[in-house]
Chains A and B, each alone.
Chain A
Amino acid sequence: MRIVHTKKIENCVYRLARKAGTALTPACRAAMQSAAARESSPACKFALDTLLDNARLAAEEELPVCQDTGMACVLIRLGQQVALTGALLSDAVDSGVRRAYADGYFRKSICDPLTRVNTGDNTPAALHVEIVAGDKIEITFLPKGFGSENMSRLYMLTPAKGTEGVIDCIVQTVKEAGSRPCPPVCVGVGLGGNFDGCAFLAKKALTREIGTHHPRADVRAIEEEALRRINDLGIGCQGFGGDTTALGVACEIAPTHIAGLPVAVNVQCHCVRCEKEVL
């Protein structure tokens, strides 16, 4: 048994949040650079170049890349051989978020859904904990903006719809979102599970590095075909029209019920900020 104080987790969440808010992932920057290099539409290229300048400026001056520093999505894979001491795990995570958003001069964007009163410190985080084998703690921090989150969809398809139905859902979601989620988007897709599990698979897919593919050949084929069809839509960066509508599509899959084929499509703007650390 390995004993870990939750202060260690709080400090890790703090570090990850500070870094994530001010930096695109290297894979995201690389994908934007290569998209800008081959873009044929001048307006789309202008927007991509502005975004690359923005990413450089944000990293140099430690400024938030985007003012929507997001809802703090925290995914923890907790080894079963770890015993936690100290605060309640969710309190420790929220403390890390609270300190990071204050010290980083990040926007506090969390409010009551009905009264719209802001919680003032960007808590609570959206925390997911998975118990896994071993004695390590893997923490992933994904600040998720809502311009793109709002465009996400969950479909409960019939099994008869099959692979084609899945691809149609992904493409249709991006098409309907149009210019609103700040394209070029990254698309996280959940396949299978149940209503809530499917949505979580889609969120997890967004934590995968852009450009990586699922090890299963049939899932990879869905990722590639959906990406091709999305870029054929011609929406372009910011909806100005162009070749670059999505930077990547990532699918995660899990067994589902014999009666169903759930598909969750979690839309992420071009501003992919995701940091990970193993304690």
Chain B
Amino acid sequence: MKHLQLPLSKEDIKRLHAGDAVMLSGTIYTARDCAHKRLFSLLDAGMPLPFELKGAIIYYAGPCPAKPGRASGSCGPTTSARMDSFAPRLFDLGLGAAVGKGEMCEEVRQALQRNAACYFAAVGGAGAVYGNAIKKSECVAFEDLLSEAVYRLEVENFPAVVAMDCYGESVYQK
């Protein structure tokens, strides 16, 4: 099990290989379907994004509301394939890594290779475990989208597997 402190440098990413089990600690940003559409509208309009994309890590997730006394509600990954059409452009603009569940498409695989980036799979359905790994959560954009808004999360020991690495290798069968 590798413990990784976020953000990841290109050297960190080059040391990761598909199938490696990792624990992530540091800052990640949630964004799923609707938030990606809004991020793209901002990019198309030449406007700044609500967070610095270079080196950032996007988590495809939409949390439950937090119970009193907790930083976050349950917050496991959503199906990454729905973000297939968005991810390559974001990697080309500097996105460091994505976290979600399930396979992503060929264009994403190429974008990861082109940009020395990687894709982590969290365990889908383990919402309570991931909610517990979140120590701080703050909405940074699109609050009207409720659970689909962009949240900045501080995570500790967030379990994941390197699903697609920067060498074009994937943990999923062909």
Residues of A whose CB lies within 8 Å of any CB of B are: 43, 46-47, 50-51, 53-54, 57-58, 61, 63-69, 105-109, 116, 118, 120, 147, 150, 178-182, 234-235, 238-241, 269-271
Task: Find chain B residues with CB under 8 A from A50 CB.
Answer: 123, 126, 129, 159
Determine the distance from Cα of A116 to Cα of B121 in the docked complex, in whole angstroms. Answer: 27
Q: Are B66 and A179 in contact (CB under 8 A)?
A: no
Q: Are A118 and B145 in contact (CB under 8 A)?
A: yes
Instruction: List which B114-132 residues lie within 8 A (CB) of chain A.
Output: 121, 123-132
13 more CB-based (< 8 A) A-B contacts, given A54-B126, A106-B64, A179-B102: A53-B129, A54-B125, A54-B127, A57-B129, A64-B74, A65-B127, A67-B62, A67-B76, A107-B74, A116-B33, A118-B148, A180-B101, A180-B103
Most buried by A among B79, B125, B148: B125
Q: Are B74 and A66 in contact (CB under 8 A)?
A: yes
Number of interface residues of B (CB under 8 A): 41
Most buried by B among A54, A65, A234, A271: A54
Q: Are A69 and B79 in contact (CB under 8 A)?
A: no
CB of A206, distance to nearest CB on chain B (Å): 16
Q: Are A54 and B129 in contact (CB under 8 A)?
A: yes
Q: Are A182 and B129 in contact (CB under 8 A)?
A: no
Determine the distance from Cα of A51 to Cα of B126 in the docked complex, in whole angstroms. Answer: 5
Q: Are A63 and B102 in contact (CB under 8 A)?
A: no
Q: Are B173 and A107 in contact (CB under 8 A)?
A: no
Q: Are A57 and B21 in contact (CB under 8 A)?
A: no
Q: Are B147 and A107 in contact (CB under 8 A)?
A: yes
Instruction: List which B128-174 residues lie within 8 A (CB) of chain A.
Output: 128-132, 145-148, 159, 161, 171-173
Residues of B whose CB lies within 8 Å of any CB of A are: 19, 21, 33-34, 61-67, 73-76, 78-79, 81, 101-103, 121, 123-132, 145-148, 159, 161, 171-173
Given A47-B123, A63-B128, A67-B63, A238 and B101 contact (CB-CB distance below 8 Å): yes
Q: Are B103 and A67 in contact (CB under 8 A)?
A: no
Task: Find chain A residues with CB under 8 A from B124 CB.
Answer: 66, 147, 182, 238, 269
Top 3 closest pairs, chain A to chain B, by CB: A182-B124, A179-B102, A54-B126
Determine the distance from Cα of A120 to Cα of B147 in the docked complex, in whole angstroms. Answer: 10
Q: Which B residue's beta carbon lies closest to that of A53?
A: B129
Most buried by B among A69, A109, A178, A239: A239
Most buried by A among B73, B123, B172: B123
Determine the distance from Cα of A74 to Cα of B25 in the docked complex, in whole angstroms. Answer: 40
Task: Find chain A residues with CB under 8 A from B61 CB.
Answer: 67
A-B residue pairs in contact (CB < 8 Å), sample of 18: A57-B129, A63-B64, A65-B125, A66-B74, A66-B124, A68-B127, A107-B63, A107-B74, A108-B147, A109-B147, A116-B33, A120-B146, A179-B121, A234-B173, A239-B173, A240-B172, A241-B172, A241-B173
